[in-house]
Amino acid sequence: MKRLDNVPTHLSRTFTGTYRLTGRVVEFDNAKTPFLKLRLSDCMGDQIAMLNLSKTTVPERIGHLDFVTASGVKCLSGQFILDEFRRASPDEVTSMDTLQSLPRVYSPVPDVFDKLVATAQSLQSECLRAFLTRVLERKDRLEAFLNAPASVNYHHAYPGGLLEHSLNVANNAVAMLRLNEPTMSRLMQETCFEPPRLYRRLHILRGWSYELTKTIFPRSPGASCSISP
């Protein structure tokens, strides 16, 4: 690996960002300087960055999928050289857009993943955005959700099938509302709530929530996918 501790400032630009830590390994450049090679991920993709271990102390207890904030320079070659690497603050995490921290690298169906993120970030309902953040960006569940099939032997029975099926359920629910009640506002369509038709809306939300619980309470092979009214 080429020497990395003397990057010309006129051939680089500064950057900073908050990501999920999804990989790290120690490497040495030609001058035998130890660097920590980091994979920093979000919904847009990955950034591979190098941290000079002889100049920067790595914070303890930063683990897989933890939120981190990194800053440094990006060379014209595309190489990221960090001068700061630390655990992200609560304010930095909450300032991220909806589903921004989901690592795209973990999705076996990236095109569907992009549609999910675009849909979530276009929502007007802050409550629905908060719901999706709490459910889908959980550190202990996000990998399972992105890779799970929707069923074992029936529909969407492949890695990423649950993601695609869940997105279809949500989009079909909104499509039905737009067809049946075209004058309803965008915000009301998203929340699927209006007192005279509360039961129908709750049933739609129940179906959406049911799909998400498959990653928490997996069913046995061959179990029925029906939802009783």
Instruction: Tell me which residue of 13, 58, 67 sits closest to 40, measured CA to CA.
Output: 67
Closest CA to 116 of 153, 151, 90, 142: 142
Quote the pTM value. Answer: 0.75
CA separation (Å) from 36 to 144, 160, 218? 27, 31, 37
Task: List per-residue pLDDT tens for the chain, 229 residues long.
Answer: 444 445 444 445 788 899 999 999 998 888 888 889 999 999 999 989 999 888 877 777 899 999 999 998 887 767 788 988 999 999 999 999 999 999 999 999 999 999 999 988 988 888 888 888 988 899 888 898 899 998 888 888 999 998 898 888 877 877 777 787 777 777 776 665 443 443 444 444 444 555 555 554 455 544 444 333 3
Q: What is the pLDDT of residue 117?
A: 94
CA of residue 165 relative to chain centroid, distance:
17
pLDDT of the residue at 215: 53
